[in-house]
Structure 1
Amino acid sequence: MKITASDHETAVTVRGTRGPAVLLVHSLGLDRRMWDPVLDRLAEGRRVFAYDVRGHGSAAGAPLPFTMAATAADLLAVLDALELDTAHVAGLSLGGAIAQTAAVAAPRRFASLILMASPDRPVPEAFEERARVAETGGMTPLIGPTLERWFTPDALAAGTDGVRYARECLTSFDPATWASIWRGYGGLDVYERLRDFPVPALALAGDADASIPVEGMAAIAGRIGDGAKFAVVPGAPHIQTLEQPAAVADALAGFLPAEIDIP
């Protein structure tokens, strides 16, 4: 379905017809299809929504520059468009950064918060370098290094469906938009601002993540406080849903409430 998010139109994948609402926010460079491998499992007793972040997929034409404040406003606008007062929000990588930014701005819109392979502070030098390379050389020199950060060597060697999908997304990505997104990502400002977050939280790490190590996600859970749980998905790289979907779906389903049929 198509909806309006702030100053642009985006598409939303909807799965499930009853139960708690779950909103999924994808990683930088991909789109809402990143969640496809886990949607059926998550939709068991839940209503699940996955939308395209501005600059990606159906929202590729959204106005620039990309800022974290704008993406947080978009997330809240998506909730409004879906007529959801609150939702359980899960974000992976940039998606988790967006979710944290929105959670700082409007914590009462969150029934819970799930951060998957997601930072709570930027790495300005690395982010600026990725922006600069896109501006000077286009997307081609970025594809190999990005896929190596996202997937395990075995998945890359096998050329899995997930790897092929990610490669296609990167190949077609607009370099100027990519640069703007990385620079906007550098404005992430949530460190220590979710201390004692008033609803349940989960930090989910992959033990094969080349971008955000297990100890990094554990530290983020610690900074949220006693209300945050921490879990590790064995064998999962940075883009957890595309390489270990069953284990990721089990971890998310074990944390999220669901409407259960009672015989």
Structure 2
Amino acid sequence: MRLRASDHETTVTARGTRGPAVLLVHSLGVDRRMWDPVLDRLARGRRVFAYDVRGHGSAAGAPLPFTMAAAGADLVAVLDALELDTAHVAGLSLGGAIAQTAAVAAPQRFASLTLMAAPDRPVPEAFEQRARLAETDGMTALVAPTLDRWFTPEALEADTEGVRYARECVASFDPAIWASIWRGYGGLDVYERLRDFPAPVLALAGDADASIPVEGMAAIAGRIGGGAKFEVVAGAPHLQTLERPDEVADALDRFLPAEIDIP
């Protein structure tokens, strides 16, 4: 479905007809299809929604510059458009940073928060370097190093469906939008600001993540109020859903409530 998110339109994929609402927020450089491998599992007893973040996919035409504040406001606007007072929100990487930004601004809209390979503070030098490389050399120069951060060597060698999808997304990205997103990502401002967050939190780390190691995600979980439940997805790289979908779905299924059929 198409809906309004703040100052632009986006597209939402929906699965499930009953149960608690779950909103999924994807990583930088891809789009809502990143969640496709886990949607059907999560939709058993839940209503699951995945939307395109501003600057990505069907929301590529959103106004620039990209800012974390605007992306966080978009998440709340999507909840409003879906007529959801609250939802269980899960975000991966940039999606997790956006979810944290929205959680700081509007904690009452969260039934729970799941952070998957998601930072709570930026690395400005690295983010600026990725922005400049897109502007000077174009997206072709970014495809290989980006996929190296996102996938295991085994997946890259096998050229899996997930790798092919991610490669297509990055190669077709507008360099100016890519640069604006990375610079906006550098404005992430949630460090130690979720210590009073009232809802349950799950932090998922991949033990093959080249971007955010297990120790880094464990530290992030420890900075959240009350402590987050922490799990490690065996064999998972940065883009967990595209290489270890069953294991990710298992972890989310254990954490997220669902409406159970009663015989």
TM-score, normalised on structure 2? 0.99
How much has 1:174 moved relative to structure 2?
0.1
User: Helix, strand or coil: the match of 1:205?
Assistant: strand
Q: Which residue does 2:165 correspond to in 1?
A: 165
Q: Which residue does 2:256 correspond to in 1?
A: 256
Structure 2 counterpart of 1:244, one-letter code: R
User: Helix, strand or coil: the match of 1:224?
Assistant: coil
Structure 2 counterpart of 1:31, one-letter code: D
1:12 to 2:12 alignment: yes
Q: Which is worse superposed, 229-238 or 219-228?
A: 219-228
Structure 1 counterpart of 2:194, one-letter code: L
Structure 1 stretches (4+) deviating beyond 4 angstroms?
A: none
Tell me how far apart the structure 2 counterparts of residues 183 and 208 of structure 1 sit (CA, whole Å). 26
Deviation per CA, 1:151-183: give whole Å up to 9, x if none.
000000000000000000001000000000000
Q: Which residue does 2:56 correspond to in 1?
A: 56
User: Helix, strand or coil: the match of 2:41?
Assistant: helix
- RMSD across aligned C-alpha pairs, in angstroms? 0.5
Structure 1 stretches of 5 or more lacking a match?
A: none
Tell me how far apart the structure 2 counterparts of residues 191 and 106 of structure 1 sit (CA, whole Å). 16
User: Helix, strand or coil: the match of 1:125?
Assistant: helix
Deviation per CA, 1:83-113: give whole Å up to 9, x if none.
0000000000000000000000000000000
- Contact residue 195 and residue 226 of structure 2 kept, 8 A: no
How much has 1:196 moved relative to structure 2?
3.1
User: Helix, strand or coil: the match of 1:23?
Assistant: strand
Q: Give the % identical residues.
A: 86
Q: Which residue does 1:101 correspond to in 2?
A: 101
How much has 1:226 moved relative to structure 2?
2.5
Tell me how far apart the structure 2 counterparts of residues 70 and 225 of structure 1 sit (CA, whole Å). 24
Structure 1 counterpart of 2:12, one-letter code: V
Deviation per CA, 1:196-237: give whole Å up to 9, x if none.
310000110000000000000000110003241000000000
Matches within 5 A, 1:112-131: 112-131=112-131
Matches within 5 A, 1:161-200: 161-200=161-200
Q: Which residue does 2:145 correspond to in 1?
A: 145
Q: Which residue does 1:83 correspond to in 2?
A: 83
TM-score, normalised on structure 1? 0.99
Matches within 5 A, 1:14-33: 14-33=14-33
Tell me how far apart the structure 2 counterparts of residues 49 and 251 of structure 1 sit (CA, whole Å). 18
Structure 2 counterpart of 1:170, one-letter code: V
Structure 2 counterpart of 1:80, one-letter code: D
Structure 2 counterpart of 1:198, one-letter code: P
